[in-house]
């Protein structure tokens, strides 16, 4: 992040207080901050007992005896699917859980009763294939109701799931499955995306052959384009649930039992299996969903993320269902068949709360206000954003063109690891500033610290730090406690280090500036430089590769790659295209480099570390700094020259 950006943010002084009317009826109040300030553990305990139904109520609250391996509510017993389904049925089974909208235009209304029946049947189906409590299940699907059903069925029988984003490649499935040792893979034949079919089952076939732990593949029929089914190994979802009973007793789970793994990028090539457990996670997801989104019984709530990311886990599935909310689930892209698709869905279903990412908002801006203007968006009363810092211009555009200047905007900062929203306005309390996620929510303590871990004075920048444990925090990295401690708890002892830079302004508002490690943020999704570099180096023509995230108007950051070829390989336009495609195959289209520059060597420190900062400067066309500490200073000039001629060509 350049100094100029920091300056810009500092000078943002527009303030948007909630209207008196919104404040008067808000779910989240000042009293919650006061209560949590007084006793944050007691505050979370109250949320846990009031928002969650326990088979056995916990008597223990926070257990910090083995920090940073914290436990919450450790003697409590519950089942997450019971909380999301069963307890709502007596008086609310007819309430809509999801208005599903398929990309081709098909729709489905799924009530809580429908969802419960499907989950029970599928849970029995899983059992019939030998899945037991504690077995790992991988899920690789498009955005269809069966994805939520599969997750809830796993939760029901106590089998931790790991959802793999449907845009990832077969290799990414194999990496994750080999780490989790999943014995079952659940997928769809295909997914609809901009009118074409994403061949999910084909990718699964590759993974089924390579990942030895996998025994069965269950396939939802969605695109019906004809896929190969291997006898004895692959099972159609509809055949599996056919004849199954709609009663499957929920497994009694301990609060600290694993609910799911979700893999995320770190600074090495190996993705981290972030571990979320049962009681604390559900408490966090339900509480933050209710307070930050101001959830009322009649709301039609739409989180337009993909369930393959943590946002979908916490704010399409677990939080909203625990709160008995009606939601929208949309399968496709915002520009299919035209760029007004989302606005037409808001209009049709009377959506009241809408949650999306800055990268989407920037695309809406680019497309123009005529698309939202063509629809009645007056049902909206609250907007949210997540995934990366939102530029104040994009915030204002959202406020004016989607929120009609009346909807509060909640800019929510959190991570896969935090399980739920950490820094955000409470919409009935906090006066918002465009571009700032404002302050930590009740029960969370966030500070900006210097390199020694001391809080910086108001008006300065440093590193974001979370100074107290919280219920929905990750418990560890699957199979790698040491990496958990090193990554998150070693920078400042006793303090959680998220890896983001931040500023605190003179009013104590937080401005998150982005990652300080080698993790890029592409369209709000974390991709590690190492993963893309490893993918490039796995191509036979590549000797060495370095990758950096560079500023991009639409996606926030885009990937710029620098590649040194092996002897005997020639630079060519064809090879360039091949390398980009290779990364797509290895990781997924999201990680495809936007630019590749061939270079005879890479700039390195004397200890041999690639100087990504320098490459970033070159890519952002900044003036080069002092390079005399480089082992191979001359190469920098060569690369810069390459980059300049490339820019000329573009
Ligand atoms: C970034 C997504 C600024 C941040 C829920 C964080 C944000 C990473 C915001 C986590 C925000 C997320 N403002 N930056 N409102 N929200 N980030 O794990 O760098 O996919 O560390 O979780 O996204 O990404 P993840």
- Which residue puts its alpha carbon closest to atom 24 of ligand 1? 415
CB atoms within 10 A of CB 628: 6
If one residue of 1, 313, 415 were mutated to test the ligand 1 pocket, choosing by the most ligand atoms within 8 A of its CB, it would be 415
Residue 541 CA to residue 492 CA, distance in Å, equals 42
Please report how many Cα atoms fall inside a 13 Å half-sphere around the Cα of residue 263, on the Cβ side: 27
Tell me what pLDDT residue 1 has: 37
Q: How far is the CA of 395 from the centre of ligand 1 (A)?
A: 16
Please report how many Cα atoms fall inside a 13 Å half-sphere around the Cα of residue 508, on the Cβ side: 8
Is 88 inside a domain boundary?
no
E strand map for 102-209: 107-111, 137-140, 161-163, 184-188, 191-193, 196-198
Question: β-pairing, 137-140 with 300-303?
Answer: unpaired
Q: How far is the CA of 312 from the centre of ligand 1 (A)?
A: 14
Residue 540 CA to residue 537 CA, distance in Å, equals 7
- Which residue puts its alpha carbon closest to atom 12 of ligand 1? 387
- The residue among 236, 251, 266 that closes a domain is 251
If one residue of 526, 527, 531, 557 were mutated to test the ligand 1 pocket, choosing by the most ligand atoms within 8 A of its CB, it would be 526
Q: How far is the CA of 512 from the centre of ligand 1 (A)?
A: 9
Q: How far is CA 634 from each of CA 156, 312, 390, 604, 643, rounded to the nearest angstrom?
A: 61, 47, 38, 11, 15
Q: How far is the CA of 648 from the centre of ligand 1 (A)?
A: 34
Tell me what pLDDT residue 544 has: 86
Please report how many Cα atoms fall inside a 13 Å half-sphere around the Cα of residue 53, on the Cβ side: 14
Task: With a cut of 50, list the residues of the chain below it in pLDDT.
Answer: 1-9, 650
Residue 337 CA to residue 333 CA, distance in Å, equals 9
Q: How far is the CA of 386 from the centre of ligand 1 (A)?
A: 7
Ligand 1, closest atom to CA 385? Answer: 15
If one residue of 419, 512, 516, 549 were mutated to test the ligand 1 pocket, choosing by the most ligand atoms within 8 A of its CB, it would be 512
If one residue of 168, 385, 414, 474 were mutated to test the ligand 1 pocket, choosing by the most ligand atoms within 8 A of its CB, it would be 414
Tell me what pLDDT residue 607 has: 65
- Which residue puts its alpha carbon closest to atom 11 of ligand 1? 413
Residue 571 CA to residue 563 CA, distance in Å, equals 10
Tell me what pLDDT residue 265 has: 81
Q: How far is the CA of 616 from the centre of ligand 1 (A)?
A: 21
Triad 571, 574, 578: Cα angle to 5°: 100
- Which residue puts its alpha carbon closest to atom 25 of ligand 1? 415
Is 214 inside a domain boundary?
yes
Structure tokens at 250: 């929920």
If one residue of 359, 386, 398, 498 were mutated to test the ligand 1 pocket, choosing by the most ligand atoms within 8 A of its CB, it would be 386
Q: How far is the CA of 445 from the centre of ligand 1 (A)?
A: 17
Is 67 inside a domain boundary?
no
Q: How far is the CA of 501 from the centre of ligand 1 (A)?
A: 11
Q: φ, ψ for residue 217 (rounded to 5)?
A: -125, 120
Ligand 1, closest atom to CA 264? Answer: 18
- Which residue puts its alpha carbon closest to atom 22 of ligand 1? 415
- Which residue puts its alpha carbon closest to atom 15 of ligand 1? 413
Q: Residue 573 sits in which domain range?
A: 539-649
- Which residue puts its alpha carbon closest to atom 7 of ligand 1? 388
Is 278 inside a domain boundary?
no
Q: How far is CA 563 from each of CA 143, 453, 560, 612, 640, rounded to the nearest angstrom?
A: 36, 37, 10, 13, 13
- The residue among 218, 251, 284 that closes a domain is 251
Q: How far is the CA of 557 from the centre of ligand 1 (A)?
A: 13
Per-residue pLDDT tens for 209-219?
999 999 999 99
Q: How far is the CA of 413 from the centre of ligand 1 (A)?
A: 6
pTM: 0.91
Tell me what pLDDT residue 11 has: 61
Q: How far is the CA of 5 from the centre of ligand 1 (A)?
A: 18
Ligand 1, closest atom to CA 525? Answer: 20
Tell me what pLDDT residue 363 has: 92
- Which residue puts its alpha carbon closest to atom 10 of ligand 1? 415
CB 471 within 8 A of CB 454: no
- Which residue puts its alpha carbon closest to atom 13 of ligand 1? 389
Triad 141, 143, 147: Cα angle to 5°: 60
> Residues enclosing ligand 1, CB less than 6 A?
264, 309-311, 386-389, 411-416, 437, 498-500, 512, 514-515, 521, 525-526
Q: How far is the CA of 188 from the centre of ligand 1 (A)?
A: 29
Tell me what pLDDT residue 650 has: 45
Ligand 1, closest atom to CA 513? Answer: 3
- Which residue puts its alpha carbon closest to atom 6 of ligand 1? 415
Task: Supply the CATH number for residue 244's domain.
Answer: 3.40.50.980
* Total count of domains within the chain: 2
Ligand 1, closest atom to CA 514? Answer: 19
CB 596 within 8 A of CB 617: no
Is 230 inside a domain boundary?
yes
Categorise residue 212: left if φ over 0, alpha if ψ from -120 to 50, beta otherwise: alpha
State yes or no: cis peptide before 588, omega within 30 of 0.
Answer: no
Residue 648 CA to residue 636 CA, distance in Å, equals 18
Structure tokens at 578: 């091949």
**Virtual CA dihedral for 509, 462, 390, 267, nearest 10 degrees?**
-140
Ligand 1, closest atom to CA 437? Answer: 15
- Residue for token digits 């079952």? 184
Q: Which alpha helices (H) appear in 456-609, and where do they start and end? A: 481-489, 529-537, 573-586
> Which DSSP category does 315 fall into?
I
Ligand 1, closest atom to CA 417? Answer: 18
Is 618 inside a domain boundary?
yes
What 3-state DSSP class applies to 44? helix
Categorise residue 290: left if φ over 0, alpha if ψ from -120 to 50, beta otherwise: alpha
CB atoms within 10 A of CB 570: 9
CB 555 within 8 A of CB 568: no
Q: How far is CA 55 from each of CA 72, 199, 253, rounded to the nearest angstrom?
A: 16, 42, 9
Q: How far is the CA of 81 from the centre of ligand 1 (A)?
A: 27
- The residue among 219, 251, 283 that closes a domain is 251
Structure tokens at 330: 């949309």
Residues 6+ apart with CB under 8 A from 550: 557, 558, 559, 560, 594, 616, 619, 620
Structure tokens at 303: 């989180």
Ligand 1, closest atom to CA 512? Answer: 3
Per-residue pLDDT tens for 25-77?
999 999 999 999 999 999 999 999 999 999 999 999 999 999 999 999 999 99
Q: How far is the CA of 415 from the centre of ligand 1 (A)?
A: 5
CA 272 from centroid of its chain's CA atoms: 14
Triad 283, 315, 592: Cα angle to 5°: 130
If one residue of 275, 524, 525 were mutated to test the ligand 1 pocket, choosing by the most ligand atoms within 8 A of its CB, it would be 524
Is 178 inside a domain boundary?
yes
Is 158 inside a domain boundary?
yes
Q: How far is the CA of 449 from the centre of ligand 1 (A)?
A: 18
Structure tokens at 351: 């959506």
Tell me what pLDDT residue 270 has: 82
Ligand 1, closest atom to CA 519? Answer: 19
Q: φ, ψ for residue 43 (rounded to 5)?
A: -60, -45
Residue 286 CA to residue 227 CA, distance in Å, equals 39
Task: Supply the CATH number for residue 574's domain.
Answer: 3.30.300.30
Per-residue pLDDT tens for 271-284?
899 999 999 999 99
Tell me what pLDDT residue 439 has: 98
Exposure string (b/e) for 344-383, b if CB count within 10 Å is 16 or more?
bbbbebebbbbbbbbbbbbbbbeeeeebbeeeebeebbbb
Q: How far is CA 435 from each of CA 123, 321, 429, 478, rounded to the nearest angstrom?
A: 43, 30, 17, 34
């Amino acid at each position: 992040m350049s100094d100029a950006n920091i300056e810009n943010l500092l000078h943002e002084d527009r303030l948007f207080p909630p209207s008196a009317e919104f404040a008067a009826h808000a779910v989240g109040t000042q009293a919650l901050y006061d209560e949590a300030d007084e006793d944050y553990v007691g505050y979370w305990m109250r949320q846990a007992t009031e928002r969650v139904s326990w088979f056995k109520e916990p008597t223990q609250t926070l257990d910090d005896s083995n920090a940073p391996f914290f436990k919450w509510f450790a003697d409590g017993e519950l089942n997450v699917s019971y909380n999301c389904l069963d307890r709502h049925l007596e008086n609310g089974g007819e309430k809509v859980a999801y208005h599903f909208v398929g990309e081709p235009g098909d729709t489905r209304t799924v009530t809580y009763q429908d969802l419960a029946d499907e989950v029970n049947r599928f849970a029995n189906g899983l059992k019939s294939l030998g899945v037991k409590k504690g077995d790992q299940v991988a899920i690789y699907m498009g955005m269809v109701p069966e994805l939520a059903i599969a997750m809830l069925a796993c939760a029901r029988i106590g089998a931790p799931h790991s959802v793999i984003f449907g845009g990832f490649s077969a290799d990414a499935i194999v990496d994750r499955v080999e780490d989790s040792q999943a014995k079952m893979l659940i997928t769809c034949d295909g997914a609809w995306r901009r009118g074409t079919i994403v061949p999910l089952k084909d990718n699964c076939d590759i993974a089924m052959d390579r990942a030895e732990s996998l025994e069965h593949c269950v396939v939802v029929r969605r695109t019906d384009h004809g896929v190969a089914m291997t006898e004895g190994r692959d099972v159609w979802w509809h055949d599996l649930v056919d004849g199954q009973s709609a009663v499957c007793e929920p497994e009694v789970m301990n609060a600290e039992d694993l609910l799911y793994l979700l893999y995320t990028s770190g600074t090495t090539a190996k993705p981290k299996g972030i571990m979320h457990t049962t009681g604390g996670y559900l408490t966090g997801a339900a509480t933050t969903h209710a307070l930050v989104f101001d959830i009322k019984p009649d709301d039609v709530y739409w989180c337009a993320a993909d369930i393959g990311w943590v946002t979908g886990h916490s704010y399409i599935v677990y939080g909203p269902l625990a709160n008995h909310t009606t939601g929208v689930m949309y399968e496709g892209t915002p520009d299919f068949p035209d760029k007004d698709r989302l606005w037409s869905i808001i209009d049709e279903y009377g959506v009241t709360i809408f949650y999306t990412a800055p990268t989407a908002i920037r695309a809406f801006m680019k497309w123009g206000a005529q698309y939202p203007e063509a629809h009645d968006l007056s049902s909206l009363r609250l907007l949210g954003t997540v995934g990366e810092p939102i530029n104040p211009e994009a915030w204002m555009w959202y406020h004016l063109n989607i929120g009609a200047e009346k909807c509060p905007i909640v800019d929510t900062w959190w991570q896969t690891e935090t399980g739920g929203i950490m820094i955000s306005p409470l919409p009935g309390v906090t006066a918002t500033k465009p571009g700032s996620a404002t302050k930590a929510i009740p029960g969370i303590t966030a500070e900006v610290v210097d390199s020694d871990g001391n809080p910086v004075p108001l008006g300065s920048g440093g590193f974001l730090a979370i100074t107290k444990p919280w219920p929905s925090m990750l418990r560890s990295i699957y199979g790698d406690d040491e990496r958990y401690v090193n990554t998150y708890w070693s920078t400042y002892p006793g303090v959680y280090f998220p890896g983001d830079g931040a500023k605190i302004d003179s009013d104590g508002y937080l401005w998150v500036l982005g990652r300080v490690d080698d993790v890029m943020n592409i369209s709000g999704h974390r991709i590690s430089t190492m993963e893309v570099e490893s993918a490039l180096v796995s191509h036979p023509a590549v000797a060495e590769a370095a990758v950096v995230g560079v500023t991009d108007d639409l996606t926030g950051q885009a990937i710029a790659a620098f590649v040194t070829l092996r002897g005997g390989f020639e630079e060519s336009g064809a090879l360039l295209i091949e390398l980009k495609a290779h990364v797509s195959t290895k990781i997924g289209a999201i990680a495809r480099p936007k630019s590749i520059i061939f270079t005879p060597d890479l700039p390195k420190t004397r200890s041999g570390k690639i100087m990504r900062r320098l490459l970033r400067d070159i890519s952002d066309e900044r003036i080069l700094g002092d390079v005399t500490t480089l082992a191979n200073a001359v190469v920098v000039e060569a690369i810069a020259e390459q980059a300049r001629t490339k820019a000329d060509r573009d």
